[in-house]
Structure 1
Amino acid sequence: MATIDLNCDLGEGFGAWPMGDDAALLDVVTSANVACGFHAGDPQIMLATCRLAAERGVAIGAHVAYPDLRGFGRRPVPTTSDELFADVVYQLGALRAAARAAGTRVSYVKPHGALYNVAVRDAAQADAVVAACAAVDPQLAVLALPGSELLRAASDHGLVPVPETYADRAFQPDGTLVPRAQAGSVLHDAGEIASRVVRLVTEGQVTAVDGTEIAVDARSVCVHGDTPGAAAIAARVRAELVAAGVGLRAFV
C-alpha cells in the first residue's frame, strides 16, 4: 500500500489572537509544524499544541522562521549566517522544551514562509538553518521542496532529507511555488485540492500554472492551517486519499 504523510502549520496564534482550528486539523494530519514564537506562537500556545499533538500521536516539527511577528514571517529579513544559526538554535530549544513537557519530542524541522522560500534557493541560508539543527539534534529530519538547498544541506550535515509538496499552492514550471503576491497562488476549492493530492501521491504528477506537467517525488504533503476552511479541506484530502487506497503515516 502506498503511504503519505500530511503535514500542517499549527500553533500560529499569538496571545488572544487565534489562527485556524488546530484541534480539528490535528485529528486529520500526521505531522504538525509548530510555530516557535518568531513568526507566530507563544509559550502557552506552543505547549498546548504539543499536548494536543501528543494526545493524537501526531509527529511534531519545529516551524522556525525569521523574527517577524508583524509580517507573519512572510517577509525576508536581512540576517547573517551567524544570526540565523543562533535564531534557529533558540527556536528549536524552546519547542523541544515544550514538547518534552508535553510527553513528546521534536523529530523534524520545516522553515516557515520567507525563510523557507529563501533557504530553498540560497545555499548559505540553508546551511545556517541546517547546521543549527544538526548542532541541537543530529537525529532531526528536514522537510522541504525536492531539489532544494535545504535538502542538500540536510544530506551534507547528516540529517534526514524529506521532500514535500503542497496541497493548496500553485506551482511554477520549475516546481517552485507561485509567490503569494500573485493571483491564484493559493487554491481554495476542497474538491479540486483533494483530487490534485490524490494524483500527486498515486501518479507523481501535478500541473503547473502554464499547463506543464511536473514530476513530483514527495514523502509528505502540506495542507495549510491558516487557509480559510483549512480543516474541511484537510479532511477532504485525507478522505479521498483513503478512498484511493493510500495509507496516512508520519514520515518519522
Structure 2
Amino acid sequence: MKLNCDMGESFGHWQLGMDDSVMPHIDMANIACGFHASDPLIMQKTVALAKQYDVAVGAHPSYPDLVGFGRRHMQCTADEIQALILYQVGALAAFCQQQDIPLSYVKPHGALYNDMMQDKAILIAILKGVAAFSANLPLMLMAQADNSHNESLAAQFEVPLLFEAFADRRYTDSGLLQDRRQTDAVLTQQSQVINQAIQLAQQGCVISNTGKLIKLKADTICVHGDNAQSIAAIAQIKSALMSTKD
C-alpha cells in the first residue's frame, strides 16, 4: 500500500506543510498547481524534491480559489472544469519535464475533489480534462466499497483510476468523509491515525463515526504532514506498512 500526501501548498512567503520532512516517507506527492496554493517557484522546488527521493509526482488541481484554499464550491461549467484541469496539469508537467521525471497521475483538491465524487457531470468533465492532456494518465478518486461504477465511467475515456483512503479523516456510514466543519472530522491523535492506516492496509476497512465497519478498496492511503506530530505518524505508518509487506 503506497502513501500519498498533498505537497507544495506554500505560496510566496506564506508557508504550509513540512515538505522536506515528509517527502522521505511517502511514495506519491500530490503537488499543488497554483490555483488553491503554490506558485511557480514552489512547484519547481517540490518537483525537484520529489525527484531527490524517487517519489511519484501527481498534479493536484483545484477550483481557482487561493483565498479559500480551494475548499469552496464554485459554479463552473463542464468546459471550464476541463480547461482548469488541462491548464494546471500542463503547468506541473512542464516542471516534471524540466526535471526529466514523469507526471504519474492527477488528484483533484478540496471542493473539486468532493464535487467530483458526488456529481457525475463534474467527474466526466475532469475525466475529459485528464484525457485531453494525455492518454492513460491515471486519475485518483476516493475509494468506496464498490468502485466498479466509476471504473466503467472512466473506461469510456480511457483514463485509469487509482483509489485512495484517508488515514486522518473520519468516515460516515455511507463511506464518505465526514464534513470538515464538524469538530471530529479530522483525527488528531497520532495513535488514531496510525491505527486507521494500518487497518486500511491490512484489512481494507475503516470504522465510521458511528462505529460501523466500512469496507474500502484502496490502492493508496492519503496522509498529511502539517506538523511534527503528523510527520512522526507518517514515519510510523511507513515503517508498519513495510513490516507488513515483509
- Identify the TM-score tier after normalising by the shorter chain: over 0.9
CA contact (8 A) 2:18 2:227 kept: no
SS in 1 for 2:169: coil
Alignment match of 2:87 (pick from 85, 90, 95): 90
User: In the TM superposition, what is the alpha-carbon distance from 1:231 to its structure 2 partner?
Assistant: 1.7
Question: For residues 9 and 153 of structure 2, what CA distance do their matches in structure 1 show?
Answer: 27
Aligned-residue offset at 1:15 = 0.5
Q: Shift in Å at residue 175 of structure 1? A: 0.5
Seen in structure 2, the aligned counterparts of structure 1 residues 141 and 94 have a Cα distance that, compared at 3 Å, is same
Contact 1:145 1:163 in 2 (8 A): yes
Deviations 1:160-188 (A, max 9, x none): 11111000000000110001001100011
Deviation at 1:100, TM superposition (A): 1.0
Q: In 1, Cα distance between the equivalents of 2:135 and 2:34?
A: 22
**Which residue does the alignment assign to 1:55?**
52
Counterpart of 1:75 in structure 2: which amino acid? R
Q: Does 1:105 align with 2:90?
A: no
1:216 matched to 2:213: no
Give the superposition deviation at 1:151. 5.0
> Which residue does the alignment assign to 1:205?
205
Q: 3-state DSSP class of the match of 1:229?
A: helix
SS in 2 for 1:83: helix
CA contact (8 A) 1:144 1:151 kept: no
Residues 197-247 of structure 1 deviation map (CA, whole Å, 9 limit, x = unaligned): 11111111210001110111111000023467332221121122223x236
Structure 1: any 5+ residue segments left out of the alignment? 248-252
Task: Please give the alpha-carbon distance, in whole angstroms, between the structure 2 residues aligned to 1:36 and 1:154.
Answer: 23
CA distance in 2, matches of 1:7, 1:112: 13
* Aligned residue type for 1:224: H
CA 1:151–1:22 in 2, change beyond 3 Å: closer, same or farther?
farther
Structure 1 SS opposite 2:25: coil
Query: Equivalent residue for 1:7?
Result: 4
Q: Which amino acid is 1:56 matched to? A: Y
Partner of 1:241: 241
Contact 1:169 1:187 (C-alpha < 8 Å) held by counterparts? yes
For normalisation by structure 1, the TM-score amounts to 0.92
- Quote the Cα distance in structure 2 between the aligned partners of 1:246 and 1:183: 34
The 5-angstrom pairing of residues 57-72 of structure 1 reads 57-72=54-69
CA distance in structure 2 between the partners assigned to 1:94 and 1:170 by the alignment? 33
- Taking structure 2 as the reference length, the TM-score comes to 0.94
Unmatched runs of 5 consecutive residues or more in structure 2: none
Query: Deviation of residue 139 (structure 1)?
Result: 2.2
Query: What is the aligned partner in structure 1 of residue 72 from structure 2?
Result: 75
Partner of 2:174: 174
Higher relative contact order (CA 8 A, sep 6+): 1
Equivalence map 1:132-151=2 (5 Å): 132-147=129-144, 151=151
